[in-house]
Amino acid sequence: MRHVLSALVMNQPGVLAHISGMLASRAFNIESLAVGATETPELSRMTFVVKGDDRVLDQVRKQLEKIITVVKVIDFSNQNFVERDLMLIKVSTDGGQRSAIHELVDIFRARIVDVGPLHVMIEISGQERKIEAFIDIMRPYGIIELVRTGRIALLRSAVSSEDVETEQPRSLEPPPEAMV
């Protein structure tokens, strides 16, 4: 089963390395990972996608919650949420296929962001299955290269992710041992 987790973490150097190292050392595979700023300058949001049963999910959550720089962990898996992935893909237009590619870009609600003599670069965002379908349909034209973000997600409700009831969030004050 696929689980989407979000962790609000203190915006400090080394937090990503600490968390990914902890998960790797316990043999948890991170299928997707995205990290970015939040509305609070002291916090960053890390969105993970991991595969496993409920026992695996419980272990991942418990391990994340033990880390001092993790303020809160939220499991989106059983919640109503929106998730998106972003991709840039460079596709060959060698062979006069530019108009066909342009038509497919429109159908997928993507957009061309760069044009070269023998390629176009396309930006597309959406759910994972949309991104995968677009990749599959572009293969016959010749994918030169592509890059994707990790998945990002937010709850659909009017309630902020920070207000979702889990364990008590930690203080934003760094622990005394982090000030050394």
Instruction: Using DSSP, state whether 159 is helix, strand or coil.
Output: coil
Domains 2-78 and 82-152 share a fold: yes
- Separation of alpha carbons 67 and 81, rounded Å: 25
Confidence at 29, pLDDT banded by 50, 70, 90: confident
Per-residue CA distances from 82 to 120, 149, 153 (Å): 29, 15, 5
Tell me the per-residue pLDDT of 86-96, one tens digit each, with 9 for 90 and over.
Answer: 999 999 998 88
| CATH architecture of residue range(s) 82-152 | 2-Layer Sandwich (3.30)
- Predicted TM-score (pTM) of this structure: 0.75
Structure tokens at 105: 């870009």
Single-letter amino acid code for the residue at 158: A
Structure tokens at 109: 């609600």
Q: Which residues of 137-156 are buried (b: 16+ CB within 10 A; e: fewer)?
A: ebeebeebebebbbbbbbbe
Tell me the per-residue pLDDT of 33-64, one tens digit each, with 9 for 90 and over.
Answer: 999 999 999 999 999 888 888 888 888 888 88
Tell me the per-residue pLDDT of 125-161, one tens digit each, with 9 for 90 and over.
Answer: 999 999 999 999 999 999 999 999 989 999 987 655 5
Give which of 35, 31, 34, 38 is closest to 13, Cα–Cα.
Answer: 35
- Separation of alpha carbons 35 and 73, rounded Å: 14
CATH number listed for the domain at residues 2-78:
3.30.70.260
Structure tokens at 42: 């002291």
Place of tokens 């609070």: 40
Domain positions in the chain are 2-78, 82-152
* Confidence at residue 73, expressed as pLDDT on a 0 to 100 scale: 92
